C-alpha cells in the first residue's frame, strides 16, 4: 500500500482483512487491546465517541489528535476497534499515515448513527417541524419525479433507461456522468443531455414545501443532490447544489475559466451539439496561424504535418462548455464542507427527502451532523443502512400535502427561473399538488415501528422482513413460555434516555469494516463524488430500530 497518500475506506477495509488473514492469536489481540486501554480506557473511549458524534470529526481531531505522538495515535486506532496488520503496527511509517487511518476509522463511527428512541410517530413529525427553527433539508431526485424529471436509480430511472435503450456505447450506464469518459467523448453526453435539461418543469409540492419552511424562517439550508434547478424555480434562496446544476456552464480546459449561464448553451443541448468555448477556439485558431507562419518561414511543406495537432485532439472533451454538474470522479465544491461545518452548529432537525442516501459523500451528511439531531425520512423506499428516527414512506408530494394540512400551512406558488430556461416558466400554483383525498388519508404504521406507509410506498422487502421477525419473535416467546423462563415483559428494559450500544469499543475486530466516507485532510476536503454502493444494505439496522420503539412502548404501558 502507498502510505504517501490518504487511507480511504476501501483501503482501511483491505488492511483489516489482511490483519484477519494473519490469524493472530487471541492472546496477542488481548495484549494489544490491554496496551491501548492503558492510554485509552474503555470508559474514556465511550466518552470520546459520544463527543465525536456530537461535535463532529474536525472538532474531535482538534481536541484529541493534534499534537499526539505516533504511538498514541496507534493506540487510539486500536482502542476504537480497528486492527491493522503487523507491518502497519510495527513499521516506522509516517505519523501522517496513521492520522489518515484514524480519520477513516472515526468516519466509520459517525456513519453508525443510532436511532433516537423518543421520535416515532407522525405526530412527532408535526411537533418537530413546529418547534424547530434551524431545519436542514437534504433533497434528492425523488422530489422531482412528479415534475416529469426521471430519477437515476429506480426501475424506470435514467440508468435503467440507458441500459434498456442500449443506443449509447456504455459499459456502465453511470459512465454517462463519468468525467474521464466525458473528456474522451463529450458528444455522448450532449446527445443525451436534452432529456434531463430543466425545460419548462414546474416545481413539485415537495420543492414548495421547502420554500414554505424558508418563508416561515425555519430553513437553515437546503442541500440538494439534484441538478435540475427546480429549487430556484420554487424561489428557494438558502440552497446548496451539492452536485452542481445546469444553472451555469464552464470551459473544461484547465486555466481557461470561461463561465456562462446555462441558458447560453441551451440551444446546443437541444440540437445535440457539443458547445465549444469561444475563447479556446480563438486561441486554437491563433496557434494554427502561428504554426503555419513558422512552417512557411522555414520553407517547409504545408503537407509535412510535424506539429502537435494529434496532442491537441487527444482529449476531445477539452475546450467544451460543460454544464457545472459534478460528474463521478470530480471533486465536490468546497462550499459543501464549509456550509456543513457552519450548519452543524445550529441545526435542530434534518429532513431527508427523495433520496435513499446511497451516493457519497453527500449521503454521509447524516452522520456528520450532531447525532442528537432528529432525522426524518420522506421517500418512496426505506433507508436501511443507517438509522432514521422516523421514516415516512410513499409519494413525497402526498406526504408533504398531508403534513401541510396537519400544520395548517398553504404551499406557495413557484417562482420562474430564467437563468437556465432563458424565458418564463409556465408555473401554476395548482399543478402538482395532492388532492383532498391524499391530504385527508391516514398513513399506515408498519407493525409497531417508526415507519409509516403512505400511497406510493415501495417497502415490500421491509414489510416481509418485519413479518419474518415477528414470526420468529412469536416462536421465541412460545419457547420461553414452555421452559417457564421470564417473559419479555419481566426482563429489564432500557429507559428512554438509553440506547443500545453500537460502540466499536465493545465490538472490536468482529466482522469486516463497513463502507464509509473517505476523509481527506479536513471533514471531507478533496472528497470526490462516488458511484452508488448498491446491494450491501440489509434490513437488520431497521429491525433493531423497531426493537427500540417496541421497548419504549412497553415502558410507557
Going by the annotation, the residues of the binding site for Zn(2+) are 251, 256, 277, 280
From CA 332, how far away is CA 240, in angstroms rounded? 11
Farthest-apart Cα atoms in the chain, separation: 105
Residues in contact with 280: Cβ distance below 8 Å, sequence separation at least 6, in sequence order? 251, 253, 256, 258, 318, 319
Question: Catalytic site residue 243?
Answer: yes
Q: Give the cell for residue 211.
A: 420554500
From CA 333, how far away is CA 241, in angstroms rounded? 9
Quote helix, strand, coil % in the chain, to nearest 5.
45, 10, 45
From CA 381, how far away is CA 121, in angstroms rounded? 18
CB–CB of 432/147 below 8 Å? yes
CB–CB of 360/420 below 8 Å? no
From CA 378, how far away is CA 347, in angstroms rounded? 18
CB–CB of 349/366 below 8 Å? no
- What strands, in cross-sheet order, belong to the sheet with 259-261? 259-261, 244-251, 321-325
From CA 89, how far away is CA 112, in angstroms rounded? 26
**For 415-514, where are the alpha helices, taking DSSP H only?**
418-421, 436-440, 460-482
How many CB atoms sit inside 10 A of residue 218's CB? 18
From CA 332, how far away is CA 365, in angstroms rounded? 13
From CA 373, how far away is CA 238, in angstroms rounded? 20
Q: Give the cell for residue 126.
A: 408535526
Sequence-ordered strand ranges (E) for 155-297: 219-224, 239-241, 244-251, 259-261
CB–CB of 166/155 below 8 Å? no
Q: Tell me the sheet residues that pair with 138.
A: 223, 352
Residue found under cell 423462563: 485
Q: Give the cell for residue 249.
A: 456552464
HSE (side-chain half, CA atoms, 13 Å) at 527: 30
Q: Which residues are annotated as a binding site?
A: 251, 256, 277, 280
Single out the catalytic residue among 207, 241, 243, 402.
243
Q: Is 456 helix (H, G, I), strand (E, B) or coil?
A: coil
- Show which residues are catalytic: 243
Amino acid at each position: 500500500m502507498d502510505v504517501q497518500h490518504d487511507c480511504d475506506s476501501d483501503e482501511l477495509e483491505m488492511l483489516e482483512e489482511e490483519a484477519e488473514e494473519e490469524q493472530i492469536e487471541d492472546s496477542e489481540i488481548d495484549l494489544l487491546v490491554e496496551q491501548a486501554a492503558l492510554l485509552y480506557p474503555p470508559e474514556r473511549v465511550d466518552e470520546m465517541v459520544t463527543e465525536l458524534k456530537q461535535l463532529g470529526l474536525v472538532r474531535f481531531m482538534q481536541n484529541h489528535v493534534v499534537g499526539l505522538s505516533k504511538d498514541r495515535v496507534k493506540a487510539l486506532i486500536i482502542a476504537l476497534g480497528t486492527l491493522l496488520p503487523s507491518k502497519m503496527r510495527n513499521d516506522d511509517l509516517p505519523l501522517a499515515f496513521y492520522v489518515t487511518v484514524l480519520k477513516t476509522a472515526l468516519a466509520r463511527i459517525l456513519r453508525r448513527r443510532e436511532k433516537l428512541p423518543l421520535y416515532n410517530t407522525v405526530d412527532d413529525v408535526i411537533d418537530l417541524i413546529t418547534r424547530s427553527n434551524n431545519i436542514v433539508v437534504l433533497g434528492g431526485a425523488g422530489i422531482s419525479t412528479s415534475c416529469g424529471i426521471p430519477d437515476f436509480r429506480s426501475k424506470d430511472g435514467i440508468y435503467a433507461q440507458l441500459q434498456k435503450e442500449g443506443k449509447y456505447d456504455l459499459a456502465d450506464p453511470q459512465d454517462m456522468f463519468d468525467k474521464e469518459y466525458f473528456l474522451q467523448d463529450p458528444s455522448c453526453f450532449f446527445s443525451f443531455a436534452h432529456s434531463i435539461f430543466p425545460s419548462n418543469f414546474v416545481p413539485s409540492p415537495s420543492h414548495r414545501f421547502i420554500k414554505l419552511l424558508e418563508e416561515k424562517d425555519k430553513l437553515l439550508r437546503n442541500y440538494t443532490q439534484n441538478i435540475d434547478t427546480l429549487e430556484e424555480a420554487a424561489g428557494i434562496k438558502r440552497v446548496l447544489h451539492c452536485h452542481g446544476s445546469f444553472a451555469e456552464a464552464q470551459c473544461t480546459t484547465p486555466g481557461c475559466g470561461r463561465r456562462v449561464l446555462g441558458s447560453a448553451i441551451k440551444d446546443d443541448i437541444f440540437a445535440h451539439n457539443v458547445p465549444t468555448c469561444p475563447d479556446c477556439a480563438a486561441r486554437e485558431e491563433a496557434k494554427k496561424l502561428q504554426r503555419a507562419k513558422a512552417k512557411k518561414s522555414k520553407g517547409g511543406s504545408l503537407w509535412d504535418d510535424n506539429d502537435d495537432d494529434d496532442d491537441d485532439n487527444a482529449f476531445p472533451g477539452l475546450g467544451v462548455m460543460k454544464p457545472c454538474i459534478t460528474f463521478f470522479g470530480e471533486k465536490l465544491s468546497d462550499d459543501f464542507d464549509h456550509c456543513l461545518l457552519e450548519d452543524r452548529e445550529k441545526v435542530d432537525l434534518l429532513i431527508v427527502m427523495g433520496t435513499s442516501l446511497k451516493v457519497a459523500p453527500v449521503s454521509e451528511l447524516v452522520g456528520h451532523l450532531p447525532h442528537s439531531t432528529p432525522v426524518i425520512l420522506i421517500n418512496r423506499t426505506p433507508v436501511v443502512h443507517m438509522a432514521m428516527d422516523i421514516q415516512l414512506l410513499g409519494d413525497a408530494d402526498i406526504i408533504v400535502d398531508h403534513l401541510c394540512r396537519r400544520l395548517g400551512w398553504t404551499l406557495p406558488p413557484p417562482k420562474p427561473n430564467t437563468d437556465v430556461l432563458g424565458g418564463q416558466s409556465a408555473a401554476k400554483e395548482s399543478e402538482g399538488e395532492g388532492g383532498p383525498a391524499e391530504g385527508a388519508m391516514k398513513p399506515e404504521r408498519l407493525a409497531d415501528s417508526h415507519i409509516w406507509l403512505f400511497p406510493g410506498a415501495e417497502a415490500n422487502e421491509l414489510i416481509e422482513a418485519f413479518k419474518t421477525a415477528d414470526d420468529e419473535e412469536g416462536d421465541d416467546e412460545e419457547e420461553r413460555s414452555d421452559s417457564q423462563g421470564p417473559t419479555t415483559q419481566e426482563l429489564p428494559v432500557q429507559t428512554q434516555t438509553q440506547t443500545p450500544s453500537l460502540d466499536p469499543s465493545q465490538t472490536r475486530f468482529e466482522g469486516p469494516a463497513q463502507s464509509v466516507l473517505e476523509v481527506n485532510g479536513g471533514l471531507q476536503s478533496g472528497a470526490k463524488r462516488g458511484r452508488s454502493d448498491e446491494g450491501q444494505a440489509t434490513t437488520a439496522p431497521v429491525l433493531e430500530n423497531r426493537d427500540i420503539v417496541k421497548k419504549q412502548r412497553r415502558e410507557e404501558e
